[in-house]
Structure 1
Amino acid sequence: MDSREVMEIFKRTGAYLEGHFLFTSGRHGSNYMQCAKVLQYPEYTIEFGREIVDYFRDRGVDTVIGPAMGGVVIAYEVARQLGAKALFAEREKGVMTLRRELKINPGEKVLVVEDVITTGGSVREVIDIVEKSRGELVGVGVIVDRTGGKIDFGVPLKAVLSIELISYPPEECPICRTNIPLVKPGSRNL
């Protein structure tokens, strides 16, 4: 898939939003990629998963893990296509962790998968879990890389869509000086 096709899917499903948004990272921006609106359609989830799987297919992935909530669906689909174990990490008292007796065994080859990367904070937290579990990180897969390819996790990265969408620290946000209300459309409330 090329970036034009991916953007068309986001627009068709109402997943590409314009306005004034607060991201999980705390930054503000005028564009939001609401992957949950795309992932409600299995045909797109399968297509996006295939893009990530094709890149990592020959890396011997044992486990795919995504941060809750955004990475859960796409991590599951990537794991399904790879025939791997699917895990998710979630926050407990503000710290990303494995719960529900889920675990990564030492030496397991692990692929971290996320829906959208803005600063990479959630992905880095999941990478820390992989490293503390003594798993072998083989790469990161993401549906949307908002940094336009500028992010570096020190491992191979596959983005279905790499697009530079500007975000601002709250104190420097020019949108805050307008009458456009700040919205947090993701999985965490303001």
Structure 2
Amino acid sequence: MTEDEVLAEFRSSQALLEGHFKLSSGRHSAHYLQCARVLMNPERASRLALAIAQKIPREVKSKIDLVVSPAMGGLIIGHEMGRALNKDAIFVERPTGTFELRRGFAIPEGAKVLMVEDVVTTGLSSREAMECVRAEGGEVIAEAALVDRSAGSVDLGVPFFPLVAINFPTYAEDELPEDLAAIPVTKPGSRSEKK
């Protein structure tokens, strides 16, 4: 899929939002990609996962034992990537602020893991989820995502295979443009503010 085709999927599902958003990374943007909306249609979610799977080189795919995604954003696309790759898909979650395995999930010692996210901006959630996988005995060998919003700056320490790179500008709190600062901020992501 081309970037235009992926953006068309986001637009047709009303998942490309405009306004003033505080992203889970803490940065601000005039655009937000609501992946839950683009993934709410099972056929579309499957199609997007297959397109991501096509981006992963065969030599990497052949090593994958397990797909892991961080909750909440990575749940649906992680599950669909498991289906596309014919691998089990589990998730890590943060009931107390730190990623952990729950629900009886386990990672076999030495399992080769594909980490799957919806959107990567700074890579913080991915790196934290990878720490959890390593602590449980797994080895993250690559990451895949629907969207790379990092403007090519993210370093996850493993090969990264996003479906598309969409470079809407993001801003730190103290560098907001006047027109964006004038719009009330919305925090649409799944992660709550740290106290």
Question: Which residue number corresponds to residue 118 of structure 2?
Answer: 115
| Larger CA deviation: 171-180 vs 76-85 | 171-180
What letter is aligned with 2:14? G
Residue 95 of structure 1 deviates from its aligned partner by 0.9
Once the two structures are TM-superposed, the CA of residue 82 in structure 1 deviates from its matched residue by 1.4
Instruction: Figure out how many residues of one structure are paired with residues of the other and give that number.
Output: 190
**What corresponds to 2:69 in structure 1?**
66
What is the TM-score with the length of structure 2 in the denominator? Answer: 0.91
Separation in 1 of the partners of 2:17 and 2:30?
A: 8
The residue correspondences of 1:159-178 to structure 2 (distance < 5 A) are: 159-174=162-177, 178=181
Map 1:65-104; keep pairs closer than 5 Å.
Answer: 65-104=68-107
* Structure 2 match to 1:5: 5
Q: How many percent of aligned residue pairs carry the same amino acid?
A: 42
Match of 1:127 among 122, 130, 147: 130
* Residues 147 and 141 of structure 1: CA distance in aligned 2, closer, same or farther (over 3 Å): same
SS of corresponding position for 1:69: coil
What SS does structure 1 have at the residue aligned with 2:167?
Answer: coil
Answer yes or no: is 1:41 the counterpart of 2:41: yes
Separation in 2, partners of 1:123, 1:162: 16
Runs of at least 5 residues in structure 2 that lack an aligned partner in the other structure: none
Q: Is the 8 A contact 1:30 1:175 kept in 2?
A: no
Q: Helix, strand or coil: the match of 1:92?
A: coil
Please identify, of 90-99 and 170-179, the stretch whose mean Cα deviation from structure 2 is larger.
170-179
Alpha-carbon offset, residue 56 of structure 1: 5.1
CA RMSD of aligned residues (A): 1.7
Task: Report the CA distance shift for 1:181/1:72 in structure 2 as closer, same or farther (over 3 A).
Answer: same
Shift of the 49–182 alpha-carbon distance from structure 1 to 2, 3 Å rule, reads same
Q: Name the CA distance, whole Å, in 2 between partners of 1:152 and 1:59.
A: 23
Q: Which amino acid aligns with 1:109?
A: K
Report the CA distance between 1:136 and its aligned residue: 2.0
Does the 8 Å CA contact 1:147/1:165 hold for their aligned counterparts? no
Q: 1:52 offset after TM fit, Å?
A: 2.2
Please report the TM-score for the alignment, with normalisation by the length of structure 1: 0.93
